[in-house]
């Protein structure tokens, strides 16, 4: 059997190596148009700062080693320019020459290509780049090492944009990030992204959200935003997302689907016989909604590469869809998400509720614990978990991994408290923040707690509710809700008579935990009360300007 693979990185090379392990006799040829195969795409941003200091560390395998170890015929700098399904051939360009290569099975793993918006002035610019490959990186490195380069503009505040921004700051440059969406990291919801924006600002990154770059002038030295703002930039990196690299597939008549992704069945077979596809280029099924979507991430690409080899070798392992779990480090902060965001749940028309929990990376009484904020999106009727997000200095990866696993295992909110996670003081808490998410969500689902979200507070106040802040007096110095009433939780039961039974309240504390206790107390004493989910800490992160700081 002769198998030809287009694309020699995450999906393609994983397919090649696995296929060899399954079939010593197969002829396996891997074409990649770039000079490197099997490289660490995900590491590229970290070379900008020198955090990954060795260029060679970006390359996981070389054609020579892949030949020796796996008997693979790996051909870098070979671009496949056409697929000829009828004759089972591909047309390959190498050093300007076109040749034909036949196949029994063809695997497409061409990845994605960065979206380059077709803006006025962009064609004349010499200083605008995207980062997808090692040659891209090398060009950018040359650009940022030029003495004249001081200000860098990053267009797009998604995961890659922020990694690039962070690493450019670490390398000493002044960085501006422009994001068209209302907040950075669109896979996160507004209030969670707010923590990241604050951390970016603390580290000197200028973040402009809700604004697109409209055009470039002066050979790319000036970027003009939709509202007319002019930004000077010595170098610009465009990171506004990727599109499936499906041009070849399209030209060959393969069926494309969602946003131009290649449509495959559960065995990764495309609509054309003997042609398979994996990785960033394919349409996958979102595991929560079952909707077709694109999830251009390394974990699914690697898995799919192995699975397509299995299927070709006659060891069926179907594609079971993707969840989409992503993480980014932004200076001292980590932000991560899995499954659906609140926004996505809303767009999908799902019945959902959300809760926020603030916990410690490990037991608070043990040194080094840092706070983290988790958000859960769930169905209050069935308990199904739709998605989760986390931000914090430490331990965010762990909690999102647990929640991604919980979603995979169809665990419900009722199961989260049952998770027995590793607990000793240096590692966790007897009630881990993930357990706590379950408790808080159950209280909402079971009607023990009625909550409002941060964005609902203004309407609640307008409708006549008053904020009852149950923090201790010394905590008020951090900021207060306008017109709030303060009674510290530990005095509340004694001072109930000070409250007006006819007045509806919204209780708040720092994290939402004490105010929940106050809520339970007040409701049982006949008050009309709701808890401000996430309370002061969350509100302060997302709408600091609405709070009062004089005292």
Ligand X SMILES: CC(C)(COP(=O)(O)OP(=O)(O)OC[C@H]1O[C@@H](n2cnc3c(N)ncnc32)[C@H](O)[C@@H]1OP(=O)(O)O)[C@@H](O)C(=O)NCCC(=O)NCCS
Does 137 bind a copy of itself (CB under 8 A)? Our answer is no
Contacting residues toward ligand FAD, per CB under 6 A: 6-7, 9-12, 31-34, 41-42, 44-45, 79-80, 109-111, 131-132, 160, 245, 248, 279-281, 296-299, 301, 423-424
Contact (CB, 8 A) for 235 and 143 = yes
How far is residue 50 from each of residues 57, 122, 129, 131, 364, measured CA to CA in Å?
12, 29, 19, 16, 34
Does 117 bind a copy of itself (CB under 8 A)? Our answer is no
Beta strands in 156-309 (DSSP E): 174-179, 206-209, 213-217, 222-225, 230-232, 235-238, 242-244, 275-277, 284-285, 292-293
Q: Which two tokens stand for residue 63?
A: 């054609």
Q: Among positive and negative, which fits the CA dihedral 101, 106, 111, 116? A: positive
Q: Which does 419 bind (CB under 5 to 8 A by kind): ligand X, ligand FAD, a copy of itself, none?
A: a copy of itself
Q: Among positive and negative, which fits the CA dihedral 431, 432, 438, 441? A: positive
> Which of 153, 328, 440, 445 contacts ligand X by CB under 6 A?
440
Rounded to an integer, what distance in angstroms lies between the CA atom of residue 322 and that of residue 11? 14
> Which of 3, 4, 6, 18 contacts ligand X by CB under 6 A?
18
> Which of 93, 266, 329, 543 contacts a copy of itself by CB under 8 A?
329
Nearest to 324 by CA among 308, 301, 346: 301
Q: Which helix (H) or strand (E) holds 99?
A: strand 97-102
Contact (CB, 8 A) for 167 and 46 = yes
Does 302 bind ligand X (CB under 6 A)? Our answer is yes
Nearest to 319 by CA among 257, 272, 267: 267
> Which of 5, 17, 167, 263 contacts ligand X by CB under 6 A?
17
Looking at the Cβ atoms of 117 and 409, the one nearer to a copy of itself is 409
Question: What is the DSSP pairing of strand 371-378 with strand 325-330?
Answer: unpaired
Q: How many CB atoms lie within 10 A of CB 424?
A: 9
Minimum CB–partner distance for residue 119 and a copy of itself (Å): 29
Does 520 bind a copy of itself (CB under 8 A)? Our answer is yes
Minimum CB–partner distance for residue 412 and ligand X (Å): 16
Does 443 bind ligand X (CB under 6 A)? Our answer is yes
Q: Which helix (H) or strand (E) holds 81?
A: strand 78-84
Burial 179-196, CB ≥16 within 10 A → b, else e? bbbebbbbbbbbbbbbbb
Looking at the Cβ atoms of 13 and 196, the one nearer to ligand X is 13
Does 359 bind a copy of itself (CB under 8 A)? Our answer is no
Site string for a copy of itself, 1-40 (x = CB under 8 A): ---------x----------xxxxx--------------x
Q: Which does 11 bind (CB under 5 to 8 A by kind): ligand X, ligand FAD, a copy of itself, none?
A: ligand FAD
Looking at the Cβ atoms of 111 and 488, the one nearer to ligand FAD is 111
- CA angle at 540 for the pair 551 and 548, rounded to the nearest 5°: 25
Looking at the Cβ atoms of 430 and 462, the one nearer to ligand X is 430
Q: Which does 170 bind (CB under 5 to 8 A by kind): ligand X, a copy of itself, ligand FAD, none?
A: none
Does 141 bind a copy of itself (CB under 8 A)? Our answer is no
Q: Which helix (H) or strand (E) holds 335?
A: strand 333-339
Contact (CB, 8 A) for 528 and 502 = no
> Which of 436, 467, 492, 522 contacts ligand X by CB under 6 A?
436
> Which of 397, 472, 478, 528 contacts a copy of itself by CB under 8 A?
397
Q: Which does 385 bind (CB under 5 to 8 A by kind): a copy of itself, ligand X, ligand FAD, none?
A: none
Beta strands in 402-538 (DSSP E): 451-452, 466-469, 485-486, 505-508, 529-532
Does 38 bind ligand X (CB under 6 A)? Our answer is yes
Site string for a copy of itself, 423-452 (x = CB under 8 A): xxxxxx-xxx--x---x------x-x----
Q: Please, which of residues 289-318 interact with a copy of itself by CB under 8 A?
A: 297-303, 306, 315
Contact (CB, 8 A) for 270 and 277 = yes
Catalytic residue, from 2, 22, 23, 42: name it: 42
- CA angle at 15 for the pair 12 and 20, rounded to the nearest 5°: 130
Does 344 bind ligand X (CB under 6 A)? Our answer is no
Minimum CB–partner distance for residue 347 and ligand FAD (Å): 23
> Which of 2, 23, 27, 60 contacts ligand X by CB under 6 A?
60
Say whether 509 is catalytic.
no
For the chain, give the number of residues.
551
Minimum CB–partner distance for residue 207 and ligand X (Å): 26
> Which of 1, 69, 99, 250 contacts a copy of itself by CB under 8 A?
69
Residues marked as catalytic: 42
């Amino acid at each position: 059997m002769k198998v030809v693979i287009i694309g020699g990185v995450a999906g393609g090379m994983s397919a090649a190596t696995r296929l060899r392990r399954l079939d010593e006799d197969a002829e396996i040829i891997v074409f990649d148009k770039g000079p490197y195969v099997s490289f660490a795409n995900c590491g590229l941003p970290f070379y900008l700062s020198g955090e990954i200091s060795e260029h060679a560390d970006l390359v996981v395998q070389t054609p020579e080693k892949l030949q020796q170890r796996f008997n693979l015929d790996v051909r870098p700098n070979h671009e496949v320019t056409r697929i000829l399904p009828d004759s089972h051939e591909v047309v390959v360009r190498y050093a300007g020459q076109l040749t034909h290569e036949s196949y029994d099975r063809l695997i497409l793993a061409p990845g994605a290509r960065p979206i380059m918006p077709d803006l006025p002035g962009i064609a004349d610019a010499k200083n605008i780049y995207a980062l997808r490959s090692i040659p891209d990186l090398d060009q950018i490195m040359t650009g940022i090492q030029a003495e004249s380069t001081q200000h860098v503009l990053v267009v797009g505040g998604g995961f890659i944009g922020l990694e690039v921004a962070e690493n450019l700051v670490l390398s000493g440059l002044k960085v501006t990030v422009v994001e068209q969406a209302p907040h950075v990291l669109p896979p996160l919801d507004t209030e969670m992204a707010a923590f990241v924006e604050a951390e970016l600002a603390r580290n000197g990154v200028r973040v402009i959200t809700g604004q697109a770059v409209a055009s470039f002038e002066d050979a790319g030295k000036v970027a003009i935003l939709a509202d007319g703002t002019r930004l000077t930039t010595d170098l610009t990196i465009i990171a506004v997302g990727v599109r499936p690299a499906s041009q070849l597939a399209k030209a060959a008549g393969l069926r494309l689907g969602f946003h131009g992704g290649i449509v495959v069945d559960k065995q990764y077979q495309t609509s054309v016989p003997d042609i398979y596809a994996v990785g960033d280029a394919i349409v996958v099924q979102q595991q929560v909604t079952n909707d077709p979507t694109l999830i251009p991430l390394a974990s699914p690409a690697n898995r799919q590469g192995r699975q397509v080899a299995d299927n070709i070798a006659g060891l069926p392992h179907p594609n079971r869809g993707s969840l989409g779990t992503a993480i980014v480090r932004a200076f001292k902060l980590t932000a991560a998400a899995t499954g659906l965001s609140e926004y996505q749940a809303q767009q999908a028309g799902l019945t959902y509720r959300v809760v926020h929990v603030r916990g410690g990376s490990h037991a608070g009484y043990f040194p080094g614990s840092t706070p983290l904020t988790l958000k859960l999106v769930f169905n209050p009727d069935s308990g199904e978990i739709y998605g989760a997000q986390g931000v914090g200095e430490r331990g965010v990866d762990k909690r999102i991994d647990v929640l991604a696993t919980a979603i995979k295992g169809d665990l419900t909110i009722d199961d989260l408290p049952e998770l027995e996670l590793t607990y000793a003081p240096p590692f966790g808490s007897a009630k881990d923040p993930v357990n706590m998410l379950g408790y808080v969500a159950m209280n909402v689902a079971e009607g023990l707690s009625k909550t409002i979200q941060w964005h609902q507070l203004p309407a609640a106040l307008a409708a006549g509710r008053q904020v009852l802040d149950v923090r201790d007096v010394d905590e008020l110095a951090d900021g207060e809700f306008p017109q709030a009433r303060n009674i510290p939780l530990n005095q509340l039961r004694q001072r109930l008579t000070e409250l007006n039974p006819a007045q509806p309240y919204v209780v708040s504390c720092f994290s939402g935990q004490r105010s929940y206790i106050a809520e339970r107390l007040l409701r049982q004493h006949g008050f009309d009360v709701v808890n401000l989910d996430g309370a002061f800490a969350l509100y302060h992160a997302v709408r600091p300007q609405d709070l009062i700081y004089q005292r």
